[in-house]
Amino acid sequence: MNEKRNGDFDRRSFLVAFGLGVAGLCSTTQKLFGMAKSLSLKKSRPNLLFVFADQWRGEAAGYAGNPDVQTPNLDRLAGESVRYSNAVSNCPVCCPYRASLMTGQYPLSHGVFLNDLQLNSRSVSFAQAYTGAGYKSGYIGKWHLDGNGRSSYIGPERRQGFQYWKALECTHNYNHSVYYAGDDETKRVWPGYDAFSQTDDAVKYLGRRAKDQNPFALFVSWGSPHGPYRTGPKDLLARYDNKKLKLRKNVPVEKFEVAQKELAGYYAHITALDECVGRLMDALKSNGLDKNTIVVFTSDHGDMLGSQGMKK
């Protein structure tokens, strides 16, 4: 990826870049990746919508065989997608994963081994590769690559080339979620549950880009379903009965009660994000973008949720 300073971002480099996630999905209504012989990114210049969550484990979806969690929109997306069920985070911690995503490099190369470290600017980033090819780029949500304080303003020179910007380094206060917009250093708060508001903004972005002749690469980064678990929309939390949820066999018996309670909250967050996925897919279709947009869904890493007696 760091070799593509100018010109188009080729298919092989793209696959290497997004294949770092957990339980990733990639889809277009034209089934672009199922038509590899007729696909040429250099000629068709498809848009990119890259959506990823924080700490969403691969088995926590209906399409993955989980009978308890409700993910109808993701299940539908999975049915028309290439599924990378064996793609895993090579370093399953937030910042290392995100640094690998942005650079296409392993932690040994980009140097981010722990959380709350700043990613250097030596490599050509995902956004720089796309903007160099004439794309408009945007980032909405959790960043976690700046290393200068989780609530601090992130200047343009530290955004790895992204143009449109509504983000914060890191927060898991989903109902009072702070962010910065563009080059304004004023702290703002996403209304209500942040993933819903971030999705609203992404939908508006897609609407604007539909009127632009330039292709786009938009990244939407949600902070949930990372804990605190029982802070999602109350109506979705009410759908899950703790005692009816199946735990993994490696959860110790003495952890059952706590694990089931947390799992209900975890699934409520997931169902909320599933609704967001549905809204994004609807927005692509309503704006006529669905036929030329690659959609990637993944996560930075999974969650233990009581397995081996561990929470994270």
Residues serving a catalytic function are 94, 144
First to last CA, the chain: 31
Question: Do residues 171 and 150 touch, judged by C-beta distance below 8 A?
Answer: yes
Question: What is the Cα–Cα distance from 215 to 306, expressed in whole angstroms?
Answer: 43
165 three-state secondary structure: strand
Question: What is the Cα–Cα distance from 191 to 70, expressed in whole angstroms?
Answer: 24
Picking from 233, 238, 312, 242, the residue whose alpha carbon sits closest to that of residue 276 is: 233
Question: What is the Cα–Cα distance from 135 to 163, expressed in whole angstroms?
Answer: 10
Q: Give every CB contact of residue 35 below 8 A, 6+ residues apart in sequence.
A: none
Q: How many CB atoms lie within 10 A of CB 37?
A: 5
